[in-house]
Amino acid sequence: MKQERKTHFQEGRRAQQQLENGFKQLENSKRKFERDCREAEKAAQTAERLDQDINATKADVEKAKQQAHLRSHMAEESKNEYAAQLQRFNRDQAHFYFSQMPQIFDKLQDMDERRASRLGAGYGLLSEAELQVVPIIAKCLEGMKVAAEAVDPKHDSQVLIELHKSGFARPGDVEFEDFSQPMNRAPSDSSLGTPSDGRPELRGPGRSRAKRWPFGKKNKTVATEDFSHLPPEQQRKRLQQQLEERNRELQKEVDQREALKKMKDVYEKTPQMGDPASLEPQITETLSNIERLKLEVQKYEAWLAEAESRVLSNRGDSLGRHARPPDPPAGAPPDSSHNHGSQDNKESSEEPPSEEGQDVPIYTEFDEDFEEEPTSPIGHCVAVYHFEGSSEGTISMAEGEDLSLMEEDKGDGWTRVRRKEGGEGYVPTSYLRVTLH
Condensed to tens digits (0 to 9), the pLDDT of residues 341-356 reads: 444 444 444 444 443 4
Residue 404 Cα distances to 91, 382, 387, 395, 415, angstroms: 86, 9, 16, 13, 11
The pLDDT of residue 197: 47
3-state secondary structure of 238: helix
Q: Which residue did the predictor score with more confidence, 74 or 374?
A: 74
Percent of the chain with pLDDT over 90: 34
What mean pLDDT do residues 161-186 have?
Answer: 73
Cα gap 106→257, rounded to integer Å: 72
Enclosing H/E stretch for 197: none
DSSP 3-state of 327: coil
The pLDDT assigned to 267 comes to 86
pLDDT band at 188 (very low <50, low <70, confident <90, very high): very low
Task: Say how far apart CA 54 and CA 31 lie, in whole Å.
Answer: 37
| pLDDT, averaged across the chain | 78
> Residue 97's pLDDT is what?
92
3-state DSSP assignment of residue 404: strand
pLDDT band at residue 53 using 50, 70 and 90 as cut-offs? confident
What strands, in cross-sheet order, belong to the sheet with 424-428?
424-428, 414-418, 402-407, 379-383, 432-436
Which of 1.20.1270.60, 3.40.50.300, 2.130.10.10, 3.30.70.360 would CATH assign to domain 1-124? 1.20.1270.60
* Helix 280-323 × helix 232-269 angle, to 10°: 160
Residue type, 155: H
pLDDT band at 218 (very low <50, low <70, confident <90, very high): low
Query: Do residues 132 and 195 lie in contact, with contact meaning Cβ atoms separated by under 8 Å?
Result: no
Is the distance from CB of 17 to CB of 66 less than 8 angstroms? no
Is the Cβ–Cβ distance between 175 and 190 less than 8 Å? yes
Query: Nearest Cα to 343, choosing from 331, 327, 330?
Result: 327
User: E strands, 181-277, where?
Assistant: none
pLDDT given at position 277: 86
Would you place residue 375 in the very low, low, confident or very high pLDDT band (cuts 50, 70, 90)?
low
At 387, phi and psi to the nearest 5?
-140, 135
Query: Class of the 379-436 domain?
Result: mainly beta
Tens digit of each residue's pLDDT (9 = 90 or more) over 112-154: 999 999 999 999 999 999 999 999 999 999 999 999 999 999 9
Integer Cα distance of 48 and 398 in angstroms: 125
CB contact at 8 A, 424 and 395 = yes
Amino acid at site 147: A
Most confident of the ranges 81-95, 193-207, 327-341, 368-382: 81-95
E strands along 125-238, which residues? none
For residue 131, the model assigns a pLDDT of 92
CA distance 85 to 23: 9
Is 303 in contact with 240 (CB distance < 8 Å)?
Answer: no
- pLDDT for 164: 77
Cα–Cα nearest to 232, from 161, 304, 301: 304
Q: Are 403 and 383 in contact (CB under 8 A)?
A: yes
Rg (CA), the chain: 52
- Phi then psi dihedrals of residue 389, to 5 deg: -80, 90
Q: CA angle at residue 91 from 87 to 94, to 5 degrees?
A: 140
Geometric angle at alpha carbon 123, from 122 and 128, rounded to 5° = 100
Task: Give the integer Cα–Cα distance in Å for 262 and 254.
Answer: 13
Q: How far apart are the C-alpha atoms of 400 and 397, rounded to whole Å?
A: 9
Over 80: is that where the pLDDT of 374 sits? no
Q: Are 395 and 426 in contact (CB under 8 A)?
A: yes
What is the C-alpha to C-alpha distance for residues 368 and 203, in angstroms, rounded to an integer?
57
With 0.95 as the threshold, say if the pTM is over it.
no
